[in-house]
Amino acid sequence: MSEEKKKHEKQVPNNVVPLGPTKCCGEGCNKKPEKAGFCAEHFEWFKAGLLTKEGMKAADFEKKHYHFMRAKKSA
């Protein structure tokens, strides 16, 4: 009976597809995603409007980044 159990345990399906993203959506980031497909740092940027939901930089990224850093520095 134990041999039958071992045979059954060794059978692993080869059609398994991961459910979520395996890395952050941010451009060039390879960290593990935590929220909404972003790592902690890029999720903060996403909330501030620096990144789109696809992970690309916003059209006015430089301006927003400048204000984001000033606000972060003063806090």
In a domain, 61, yes or no: yes
| pLDDT for 66 | 95
Amino acid, single-letter form, for residue 34? E
Q: What angle do CA 28, 31, 34 make, to 5 degrees?
A: 120
Residue 55, both tokens: 């992970």
Split into its structural domains, the chain has a count of 1
Return the residue matching tokens 């972003």.
Answer: 38
Secondary structure (3-state) at 23: coil
Which pLDDT score, from 0 to 100, does residue 12 have? 66
The pLDDT, as a whole number, for residue 64 is 94
Q: Output the pLDDT for position 22.
A: 81
Instruction: Give the integer Cα–Cα distance in Å for 67 and 61.
Output: 10
pLDDT string in tens for the chain (75-residue length): 556 555 556 676 778 776 666 888 888 888 998 888 899 999 999 999 999 988 899 999 999 999 999 998 886
- Can you give the residue range of the structural domain that contains 56? 22-74
Residue 63 lies in a domain: yes
